[in-house]
Structure 1
């Protein structure tokens, strides 16, 4: 009986392993299709395109003049033993201009031998125009002698949230406008008013100080629908107010950008 049980357990284990790997194997065994790498979601939500992204210098200190942006280009079908160039087009209508607003640090568009992806590296340059306008760069992948573009669109979401996402296009925006992130913006987040009881009014300078002091991941805290946990919110606000009180006691109070308004946290952090 023990041997039978062991065999049953082994069979079940192998079935589980096979099920988990099936989607990945099918994905890699598909034709050589080139695409911008998407998001491999957990559970049964599947693999979805990520055809838009953004970055704001408004959330980083003024002394930071550039930043790197990485974009992964992926191919199905598995690795091969030769270098395979792929075709990509940067729209001339883009307002983010190479040599002015960014530098492309990737010299060639090639899937290298033994690899299934290439990483495009952009050095974003903080230019004055970004303080008033959101600049964008549109990119598109095209088929060539090495790759097809069979994976193009995918419907994501349901109901009013249903939208078409694209595997072969990517729209990237950059600005230097420090608007309040979603969790701190009462126009977007109904709960923001309660949070402001701890954080106080939003300002770019306050955000930048907090981001530095608490080592925030800007991609996380500026994401739509992000909400800090209650214990983090309390810890951030009280710790920040202690810092502001200490600076004032030392004779070096922290003012907002106008140089007149004393920076302070919300009423619950006092």
Structure 2
């Protein structure tokens, strides 16, 4: 709040926060879907076409599409474009799926401390049964590269199974207690990863396989380091995505 005195009169002003370009684009696209301009199942224009239409940078469009995907309005096929969801979310459903970067950052901070320790203990204590279960999950991840929902579910199962292999009931309980937050954070971080890094699902799968190999060979230090590196990379992608959005806003401010 700012206090300014005009002619002896004290006037209080509240700061007006400028809305991000991606938020404005997201809102307009969502309205176009709601009003039927883009029907369920229809394909949206490309990122380049949308950037030209809205006169914004491609990073702004990608961030807007990421938000629409996170809230269930669109689906994105890697290499195939963006499509309006066949089943549109109710208002309350869309709100519940919104997972902002600040909350995502908090979950990642907790995950780093818990999951690095889980991976190290899993390497030391894992059983043949644990390895078989992790192998099965990795196979499912490999077979679900084109299926977003199945990929997300296999991802969270892998991390929970690593916690189970740690043979520490408290660590497993902590992971299970935050399963809901874990699921939403994974969905959102994977989407930011694909947009910001242009990474493929195969790269994500390779990181999980690398963690598994360290657990399989009972290399606790490598398991801990690879899990931490995996989570740090996700964190860096989120930070770069935010910086990219800020750069876009700064550039727009200089040209206005």
TM-score by length of 1: 0.21
Whichever structure has more strand as a proportion of its residues is 1
Structure with a larger share of its residues in helix: 2
Q: 1 or 2 for the larger relative contact order (CA 8 Å, sep ≥6)?
A: 2
State the TM-score, normalizing by the size of structure 2.
0.22
Structure whose alpha-carbon radius of gyration is higher = 1
